Amino acid sequence: MTDQPPFYDDLAACLDEAWRLLSEGAAHRRGACHTPTLATLGRDGAPRLRTVVLREADAGARLLRFHTDARSDKAAEIAREPRVALHAYDPHAKIQIRAEGRATLHGADALAAAAWEAARPMSRTCYGVSPGPGTPIPRGDGYALPTDRATAEEGRARFRVVLVTVERLDFVYLAFEGHRRARFTWDGGTPAATWLVP
């Protein structure tokens, strides 16, 4: 039997490992969890998926943070139905993380102001795109990005921080000797953890 990681038969350590990978993804471009897939519910009730950049993972507060444009479909979908899910798979670690929870949109508060201040100029530019994200255009290049700093700052009004409070986390580790799957829930505030059949 090959050596298994310390979390192999330790529920609490599985949760720590999940948050470690998420934090690593938020901190490093090359982290496997840097670009998770976000699921929202569309207006028609059908699921909708897209990639986002994970900006922060706070295990203590059970928070995941990403940024978006207020004019995007996902922003409207979150405003309508705050229940969302995020998925990431680290092929090197052979770990899948599915986090479900409730999202809040922040545009005018101190949180959004701090995130905007910390954003790179190139990232800020995206929020100044015209027309807005998702608008049909006659040609692929039929949109404009701000070319000067003052115009780029106009994107601030469209910039949104999205915070997801994780209420359920499903962890899967693939191993030749036997996969492991664990589920962590904080529904109603009471934490619970259980192994699941993978």
Name the residue nearer to ligand FMN (CB basis): 15 or 162: 162
Name the residue nearer to ligand FMN (CB basis): 50 or 80: 50
The continuous run of DSSP H or E covering 84 comes out as strand 83-90
The single residue among 22, 26, 39, 52 that binds ligand FMN, judged by CB under 6 A, is 52
Q: Nearest-CA neighbor of 57 among 81, 84, 79, 36?
A: 36
Confirm or reject binding of residue 81 to ligand FMN (CB under 6 A). no
Interface segment toward ligand FMN; rule CB under 6 A; list 6-14, 64-72, 90-98, 111-119: 64-72
How many Cα atoms occupy the beta-carbon half-sphere of 155 within 13 Å? 31
Q: Nearest-CA neighbor of 31 among 9, 56, 12, 10?
A: 56
**Is there a contact between 40 and 77 (Cβ–Cβ < 8 Å)?**
yes
DSSP 144: B
The single residue among 67, 98, 124, 158 that binds ligand FMN, judged by CB under 6 A, is 67
Confirm or reject binding of residue 41 to ligand FMN (CB under 6 A). no
The single residue among 12, 28, 51, 109 that binds ligand FMN, judged by CB under 6 A, is 51
For the record, the structure tokens of 103 come out as 């999202």
Least gap, CB of 119 to ligand FMN (angstroms): 11
- Cα separation of 74 and 85, whole Å? 12
Q: Nearest-CA neighbor of 85 among 50, 39, 54?
A: 39
Name the residue nearer to ligand FMN (CB basis): 17 or 69: 69
Confirm or reject binding of residue 124 to ligand FMN (CB under 6 A). no
- Cα separation of 189 and 110, whole Å? 26
The single residue among 53, 105, 112, 174 that binds ligand FMN, judged by CB under 6 A, is 53
The single residue among 4, 10, 27, 72 that binds ligand FMN, judged by CB under 6 A, is 72
CB atoms within 10 A of CB 23: 17
Confirm or reject binding of residue 127 to ligand FMN (CB under 6 A). no
Confirm or reject binding of residue 80 to ligand FMN (CB under 6 A). no
Residues near ligand FMN (CB under 6 A): 35, 48, 50-53, 66-69, 72-74, 133-134
